[in-house]
Amino acid sequence: MPQMIGKFQILKTLGKGSMGEVLLGLDEVLGRKVAIKTVLPASSFGAEAKARFIREAKATASMNHPNIVTVFDFGEQDGLHYLVLELVEGQDLEALIQQGDLPKSDLLEVLAQTCEALAYAHERGIIHRDVKPGNILVTQSGKRVHAKLTDFGVALVDRSNLTDDGVWMGTVSYMAPEYLDTGKASPSSDLFAIGVMLYEILTGGRKPFTGETTTGILNAILRKSAEPLTPQETSSLSPVILEVARRALAKAPEDRYGSGEALAQAIRQAVAPQPTMIAAKTPPKAALPTGVPLLVGKGHGANCLSLRVALRQAPAGAHIKVLPGTYHESLVIDKDIIISAASEDGEVHLENLQGPCIRVANGSTTLNGCILHSAGKAAIECASGGASLQMDRCQVESKGLFGLSLEENASASITNCHFSGARQALIKGNSGATLTILNTQFLPSKAIGIQLDLGAQATLEDCELTELWGGAIEVGPDARVQVRRCKIHGSQFAGLLALEKSSVTLEDCTVSGHAGSGLHATGRASVQVRNCRFEENPGFGISVLDHSTLTMDACEIIKNEQAGVLIHLNATAQLKDCKITDGKSFGLICSQKGRGVMEGCEIAGNAQSGAKVEPGGSLLLVRCVVRDGQDTGIVLFQDGEATLEECVIHRNARGGILLAKDGADPILRGGNRIEDGLVRLTPQGPVKLAPVKKR
């Protein structure tokens, strides 16, 4: 076993296989432990193994997703090919299924997260082809599980020709029928493997297709239905999850779920707490005959003046239509119901100055085309225990603490709505709550836009969160949020605040105008950002503190008043193909054990140094350009560390690299071009140095 591979110190062997070894390594620059996969020079797999290995590196390195293991580096040393990966300290799903210690709901959440990882890969033309429990690593943080999909060694990337059509790659028990039949992999064949794992979780480890030989297993997958579950296995399962498993294992791809996201949603909905209907102590008064429409209001054929009366008369599943007008009522809903404005043109106002306009106590409530005004604690409340709310084309105007409050494990789906007012948060998701918010506007308010408590989850797409004084999104401990194609503008604090052990994913978003920071992560938060723009924030573009991690890909950080990126107090930030330009201060600061890694990035036109490495900080630049700054390109303080590989530093007004009086020289590797030169501070003032030799 070598002592060093690349820049990584080898600590011990984690495992061995026929192709090579998995080693525990240490990045001495960043102080971070990593997993290093190797292909032995004498591997019997030869050129094909090496080609697959390089393919895994390129496939995984091209992806940035919280449920996919991150690739830090790959290369070759003395004929040994190596791949440096994020170290995931946990167990694989195969072991967890066999042990049977985790609840089935947690194992199914692992599958749902894996489905989201596959959806992300499939969108980028990458098919895994070896999805199985052994390739899903699982960590636990409190009550929350987190999945990491790994081992893309047989992935099909953009119609790669390394493996010909008709040649199977992967693990037989998880292969889809059409893949066995033709050898052609597709996204649907990856999802079939999810169906196999779903069956294993439901049965405690049994596989759906069995045989005494490999040929027998192949024939079962191609020609037989999945082995039926026993009565003991089905007694504790809902019919909904059984139907999800049946559809996921369909022989024909067109009969399965159409995407990883669709399958993830189906799994989560199937395991969500089902509403328990509360039996009325007395029969409902004057119940309407079946088939008679419920129309509330004055005139036009209405059969109720009051929404409260209509709710008492309505059977479960009824659709109540409401004529234009103002209804001063407080509704408590304990059954499945739909409430809609009778026409798109008429305004239906629900008002309550003392408490909520609507409290969903049980079941599923759908609300369409209504305007809600409240001065109570919240305009809408969803009770704990699985109450569910769907909103479309609604406006919520609150003078209380919240616009919408979701109690423990409640859920809401919100589309085409407007939220305004409130004193604490426009939407509050308490422990375990789940939110899906699409095409919705959060209007100027002194409150936080969305506040997620312990373990809550939210997905936002195509939303606008504007001029929210308390911040746009606050992600509490162990909560997670995914934000896509959103505009987050204007607050007195952070646009997006990620707190202890939370998980945040941003994609294709614009974040601007925030006095504290566009994005602030602290307390071991994990943040992944792709194709986003952080611009014109009066504070920092991004600030990462206290052991948090930030991964950014193809982002622009532009014209911020404070540093574009601040990495502080043992935080780590990895930036790839990003631009930090035209800031009014430093481009990037590594401070007090902050660790920065930048690859293929551009730092240009900043008013102060492009990058500042303070005492205890470290910065690695690979194939980066630092140019056209109004000060120095890089300033390196005493006890700060900087390493440059194949970088260009030029046209900076006051020199390329400024070194503190007693600061260490930067480490230069692989043909850097430092046209502005190196300058060291001395008691007599700055002194220009000869170029530092490579080492």
Q: Which residues are catalytic?
A: 130
Rounded-to-integer distance, Cα 260 and Cα 248, Å: 11
Rounded-to-integer distance, Cα 492 and Cα 467, Å: 9
Q: Phi and psi (nearest 5°) for 7?
A: -95, 10
Q: Show the 3-state SS of 48-78.
A: HHHHHHHHHHHHHHCCCCCCECCEEEEEEEC
Which residues fall within 8 angstroms of residue 214, CB to CB, at 6 or more apart?
172
3 state SS of 174: helix
Residue with tokens 């709505």: 417
Rounded-to-integer distance, Cα 582 and Cα 571, Å: 24
Tokens (6 digits) for 262: 């669709």
Residue 237 CB: number of other CB atoms within 10 A?
16
Rounded-to-integer distance, Cα 29 and Cα 252, Å: 51
Beta strand ranges found along 492-548 (DSSP E): 494-498, 503-507, 510-514, 517-521, 526-530, 533-535, 540-544
Nearest CA to 203 out of 222, 227, 220 is that of: 227
Residue type, 45: F
Helices and strands (H and E) in the chain: how many: 10, 61
Count Cβ atoms within 10 A of the Cβ of residue 207 and give its class: 0-12 exposed, 13-18 middle, 19 or more buried.
Answer: middle
Count Cβ atoms within 10 A of the Cβ of residue 650 and give its class: 0-12 exposed, 13-18 middle, 19 or more buried.
Answer: middle
Rounded-to-integer distance, Cα 567 and Cα 588, Å: 8
Residue with tokens 């039949």: 181
517-551: buried (b, 16+ CB within 10 Å) or exposed (e) per residue?
A: bbbbbbebbbbbbbbbbbbbbbbbbbbbbebbbbb
Report whether 536 contacts 514 (CB < 8 A). no
Rounded-to-integer distance, Cα 189 and Cα 254, Å: 11
Tokens (6 digits) for 71: 């690739």
Residue type, 333: I
3 state SS of 153: coil
Residue type, 648: V
Report whether 548 contacts 519 (CB < 8 A). no
Tokens (6 digits) for 624: 């980066």
Nearest CA to 546 out of 522, 563, 564 is that of: 522
- 685 beta partners: 682
Rounded-to-integer distance, Cα 149 and Cα 60, Å: 10
